[in-house]
């Protein structure tokens, strides 16, 4: 298993989003390592009215305009944390939302954090952050050189033909098929 290198993240969000499928999102903490295989993503570009970066840099979204390979974490509806991978060249304001993972390591810890059935441990952006222990304090962490949150490649390639469709939970640019999923999930 090897960490994904920074230049891999320097590509357009529409290229990174399907390529993130089947990568491992790993989080280390006092509870050991928990990880999940990424099975669903959504791309957000700076000219996209549904993107947090659409109106330019703010205190909330400034990480999106930083170096690629960083984690952008925000609160949705004031309660759910959502984790995004910053992509593209620095200053471009694009990211990929990680929508769902299939638990791989630390499943007992995930069960403690989310008292739900195993099928629902991490099948949504807020659920996966809760299960993996990703919090607002992780906003801006380096996925490449950091040791708490990383994206790793264990050799399982992304699907050749990922399922695509409209993004979920947005009210603008809903017709863009920028949601990518592993077919079996």
What is the token pair recorded at 86? 């910053």
pTM listed for this prediction: 0.91
- Comparing CA positions, the residue from 9, 10, 13, 11 lying closest to residue 176 is 13
Task: Kindly report, residue by residue over 46-99, the tens digit of the pLDDT.
Answer: 887 666 665 767 777 889 889 999 999 998 766 789 999 999 999 889 999 999
Task: Say how far apart CA 136 and CA 45 lie, in whole Å.
Answer: 22
Q: Would you call 76 helix, strand, or coil by DSSP?
A: strand
Q: What pLDDT is recorded for position 77?
A: 63
Q: What pLDDT is recorded for position 166?
A: 79
Residue 145: exposed, middle, or buried by beta-carbon count in 10 A (0-12, 13-18, 19+)? exposed
- Angstrom CA distances, 133 to 44, 58, 172, stand at 23, 25, 29
Task: Kindly report, residue by residue over 122-165, the tens digit of the pLDDT.
Answer: 999 999 999 999 999 999 999 998 789 999 999 999 999 999 98
User: Is the per-residue pLDDT at 39 higher than 90?
Assistant: yes
For residues 107-121, give the mean pLDDT: 86
Q: What pLDDT is recorded for position 136?
A: 94
Judge contact between 35 and 102, C-beta under 8 A: no
Domains of the chain: 2-181 (3.10.300.10)
Residues 132, 156, 98, 124, CA torsion sign? negative
Q: What pLDDT is recorded for position 116?
A: 72
Task: Say how far apart CA 126 and CA 55 lie, in whole Å.
Answer: 24
Q: What pLDDT is recorded for position 6?
A: 94
């Amino acid at each position: 298993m090897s960490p994904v290198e920074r230049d891999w993240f320097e590509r357009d969000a529409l290229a990174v989003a399907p390529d993130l499928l089947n990568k491992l999102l790993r989080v280390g903490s006092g509870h050991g390592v928990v990880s999940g295989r990424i099975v669903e993503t959504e791309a957000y570009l700076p000219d996209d009215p549904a993107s947090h970066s659409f109106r330019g840099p703010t205190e909330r979204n400034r990480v999106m305009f930083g170096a690629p390979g960083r984690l952008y974490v925000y609160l949705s509806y004031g309660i759910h944390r959502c984790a995004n991978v910053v992509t593209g060249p620095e200053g471009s304001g694009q990211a990929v939302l990680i929508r769902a993972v299939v638990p791989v390591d630390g499943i007992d810890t995930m069960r403690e954090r989310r008292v739900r059935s195993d099928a629902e441990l991490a099948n949504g952006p807020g659920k996966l952050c809760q299960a993996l222990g990703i919090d607002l304090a992780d906003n801006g962490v380096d996925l490449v050189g950091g040791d708490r949150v990383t994206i790793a490649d264990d050799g399982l390639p992304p699907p050749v033909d990922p399922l695509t469709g409209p993004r979920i939970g947005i009210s603008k640019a809903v017709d863009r098929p920028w949601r990518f999923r592993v077919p079996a999930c």
